[in-house]
Structures are given as C-alpha cells and as structure tokens.
Chain A
Amino acid sequence: MGRAAYIRKRLLLMVFVLFGVTVVIFGMVRILPGDPAFLILGDRATDQKAAELREQLGLNRPVLEQYWMFVSGFARGDMGQSLLYRQPVGDLVLRRVPVSLALAAYAMGLAALITLTFGILAAVNKGRWPDQLIRVGFLFALTTPNFWFGILLILLLGLTLRWFPVAGFGETAAQHVWYLFLPALTLALQLSAVLIRNLRGQIILTMRSDYVRTAHAKGLSGSLVLLRHVLRNALLSTLTIFGLQFGFLVGGAIVVETVFALPGTGQLLIQSITARDYPVVQAITVISAVLVIVVNLVVDLSYSFLDPRVTYE
C-alpha cells in the first residue's frame, strides 16, 4: 500500500471513529433505564420541567431522527441550550476553548523541553547516577496526582515565595504566559515522565545501529552524531507515544484548570457536572474527543512523512 492509500484508509477510519464517538455520547443517556429527561434533570426534575426538556432535546421523536438532530446540530455549531445558563452551549464552550488550548500547547512546549533535556541526559549516562536520578525523579512525577502537585506548586512558589500568581488567566499576552506557567508545568512534568522513558530507550537502541557506528567512524564528534543522527530517529517513536498520551493531557488539563481557577473548558465541565447541565457535558466530551482524534491523525500522518522507511500495511 502506498502513502496515498494509507492516508485514505486513515481518513476513513477517522470518519468511522467520529461516528462511533457521537453514537456513544448520544447513546449514553438513552441506554440507561428510565426517562432520559429525568436522568438529566436529576433531583431538579418535575413533570413539567421534564416535558419541557423532552421537547427541547427532541426526546419525543424517533431515535434515528434524534441522532440526526444531534449530529447535524453539532456540524452547524448548534450544540443545544445549557440547562444552567440558559444560553446556547456553543457560545458558552467556544469562549473557553482558547484558554484550554493555550494551556495544552504551553504544557506541550514545556514537556518537549523537559523531555529532550532529561531524555538525552539519561541516555548518555545510561546506568550511572544521573540516569538513576532522572528515573526515580520522574517515577515520582508519574505517580503524583496532578491536582496535588499543582496545589504544592501554589503553596510553595505562589503563596510562600510569591513568584507566581496562584489563580486566573491574566489580561495581556505576557500575563497569560506568566499565569499559565505553573498549571502548564504541572501538566508537562507528568507528560514528560512518560516521554522521557521512551526517548531514553530509543536513543540507547539507536546508538547501537550500524549507521551510528559509521558516523562515529567517520570521525564526527559525539554530540553531532547524537543530535543529527541519533535523535532524529529516536524522536519518531516518542512522537507516537505523545499522540497516545494526548488524551491524558486533555483529561489532566480539566483537573489542573480547576486547581488554578482558569476560565477554561475544564472548569466549565466540572461546574456542569455538579449542576447536571448535560448538554454542556456532552459538547465538551465531543469536542475533546475530536481534538484527540485530530491530533492522533496528525501524528500518524506526520510519521509517514518524517520516516521514509515506514511501510504501510
């Protein structure tokens, strides 16, 4: 199979997964026993409210028609009405998406820096104390709950040393960078804990290959071989792992936004769950899933461009 065929297949799969994702979210309230209107309203439910909601969500129509309304609405950007705010869900969610995206991008940037620094450091010192230290240190980062780590950063760097603000997003671009640093760092450390392991292993593996030995034999300096020859190939696998971890980053962002009181989608999601604002929960779940699908598609496709040896089966 050539690259074009691979891309076609990959896009087809994406369409299928998108379909599946909408079916799961659509089916979630309907698969449970009982009246979805009552399920969504919870303890707020009265007969009249339930009837209103049934009308609003089209629950009294045939299931297929309901599904079509749901999907076509999403495609048009019409995600229904928030039960709590009485506003279109689209406006409510989309206004907060930039904050979450900025946080995710920031965290990814920091994670890339941390991963490269410590991954290389660990690999070239394989088995010696820097390697062991990095391994143990990031084992802790991996198992530390991110909300707790965020609070520790607030306590130490925010409240005690007063180096960073402890909540909010700021007004100007420079302030955004400042305000988002601690939350982004919280996310980045956990992400890099996974990536460093992989990068270290890949570098060590690549160092053993023949072309690296040839490069050394040609008399190239160690650091040049490492950066130009080894790293290029080693990073490919780390990129795939990154794609797989992206979902965890998005999930982690939800929690971290809550800890640092950032006005992003995560905070809205938690609020909506407590208030049983199901249309908002639904919208955020779909959007985050779409984001994960797109990122993984990009990773897979870029992989096929970055590594000409890749065969498609």
Chain B
Amino acid sequence: MSEKALGGRPLAEVVPLSQLGRTTRLQKIRVAPTLAAGLVLLVLVIVVAITAPLLTPYDPIEQQFTEAFLPPFSTGHILGTDNFGRDIWSRIAFSTRLDLQIGLLSVSFPFVFGSLIGIATGYLGGTLDTILMRIVDVLMAFPFLILVIAIMSILGPGLTNLYIAVGVVGWIPYARITRGETLATRHLEYVLAARTIGCSSARIMLRHILPNVIAPALIYVFTGMVLAILTGATLSFLGLGPQPPTPEWGAMIAEGRQYLLLAWWMTTLPGLALLVVGVALSLIGDGLAERRGG
C-alpha cells in the first residue's frame, strides 16, 4: 500500500499498528468449525498412529490366555482384552497405522494418475477424450465393491493386492473432476496467452492449467480416503485384507462377531475407531469444500 493511497498520511496514522496486526492475525485463524473439528480429530489420530508403541505396554499380537475377555476398564487393560487375551487398546492403536496407510496409499496413485489423465484429456480433447470417457462409462457400470472383490479374487488376499484393486477404479473421480475443470479453463485468456507465446502443450497443462484445476481434486482426496479405508476394512472383515494376526479394525470386528454377547467390546470399539477416522476426514473434506464454495 503506497502512502498516496492513504491520502498522503503514513499508514500508522490511518490504522493504529496494534490493531493492524490484530485484524490480520484474526483473519488468518478464522477456520470453519467443520474444518477445525476435522483437523483436530485427524491430528489426534495421527499422534496415536505415530506414538502407538509408547501408548501401550502390550504387544498387539501377543496372546495371554489367562487374560482373555477382560471387559473395558479392567486393571492394566483400559479397553479390555479379546478372546486370545490380547490388549484391545494396543490392537486399535497399532491398527491406526495400518488403516491410515491404507487410506494414504490407496489414494496417492489414483490421485496423481487420475488428475493427469483428466487434465490431458480435457485439454487435448478429440479421440483421447472419447476413449477415456468410454472407459469411465464401463468401469462405472460395476458396483465398486464387487469389482474390487472380483479383482482380489484373482490376485488373492493381502495388502498390495488391495491397493491394486482399489487403484484400478479409484482414479476415475479425479479424472472426471480435473477433466471438467480443465474444460472450463482451457479457453480462458491466460491459457490462450501461454499458447500464443509458444508454450508447448505439456508445459501449458502442467504449469498453467494444473495449478488452477487441482484444488477440487485435492478436496476429493479426503472423500477418497474415507472410501478407501472403509473398503479396506470391509475387505479385511470379509477375510480378504491383511491376514491375521495383523491388527486391523475390520478384521477385529469380524473376530469379535462370534463373541458378541460375551464380549461386546471386541466388535464395538474397533468400529468406533473407524468412525472417528471417517468423521475426521469427512469433516476436513466438507470444510474445504465449503471454503471453496464460499
């Protein structure tokens, strides 16, 4: 701001400096409650994931048959124990690592691949675009979970195959989002200007279009992570995910099913953990979307 704009007076006279600092600071920290709540929850979850070995004295897979079926708030076992006498809190905490990893890894490849494909087809158009849209039409015809299960049935159970199966269809939303945004941007002046000064298509797509169309795709990452974590948990509930005795929430819920009346905590608590992570990520996604939408 030049002094001229302030009527020739120094800035400090127009707005007292103390106030100036204060307003900007307030503006900076004004975050929608939805977003804030989501972020706080997610940070808590991440802290649990990182510090899992420090939070619990028990090995998540060590069996202690004399300690089996202890209810929550038993001495030494805050969330109780399961049928093998394993500490539930320890299993939930260690599983946080695995489930966050599933969420993160399952979206990273689809996000990068899908966004690039979406930008390329949106910008270049033509046959490439038509082919992409038909592939999308075909893949969208499959119920997501059934296609993932069908792929896993060939590849076999396990984590790596889970990533592959989710990745086969997971890129579609990102491609659709960035393609739509690119279609809306590609006739804007700055793109035309870039083309006029002789930028290559690749440069225009990566340096000019990408930064402007990536935000909605990034927001969708949070929805994608919720979907991936739920899918991972569902597959491991069905016995197709990480194999026992690896602690995973979905698998823990499945293990507890037979002891529903005897030990309700075996199924209830891991589900709550899933719920917390899902709500945290959804709140962040919603909060960011609201912020963009104004």
Contact = CB atoms under 8 A, between A and B. Distances in A.
Interface of A: 13, 16-17, 20-21, 23-25, 28-29, 32, 39-40, 42, 139-140, 142-149, 151-152, 154-155, 159, 247-248, 250-252, 254-255, 258, 269-270, 272-274, 276, 278, 281-282, 284-285, 288-289, 292-293, 296
Contact of B282 (A42, A142, A282): A142
A139 B143 CA distance: 22
B154 A13 contact: no
A284 B150 CA distance: 9
Question: Quick one: which of B233, B250, B260 has the most chain A CB within 10 A?
Answer: B260
B139 to A, nearest CB: 8
A248 B148 CA distance: 12
B267 interface: yes
Q: Indicate the size class of the contact surface on chain B.
A: 35 or more
Nearest to B257: A151
Contact of B137 (A16, A152, A155, A288): A16
A21 B260 CA distance: 40
Contacts of A23: 138
A143 B143 contact: no
A21 B154 contact: no
Nearest to A284: B146
6 contacts: A32-B154, A145-B250, A147-B237, A159-B260, A248-B143, A251-B143
A145 B271 contact: yes
Nearest to A280: B153
Nearest to B240: A273
B122 to A, nearest CB: 18
Interface stretch (B16-24, B190-198, B273-281): B273-281
Which 10 pairs from chain A and chain B are nearest by CB? A143-B278, A251-B145, A20-B138, A148-B271, A247-B143, A251-B143, A250-B143, A273-B153, A285-B150, A289-B141
B260 A285 contact: no
Given A16-B134, A148-B274, A255 B237 contact: yes
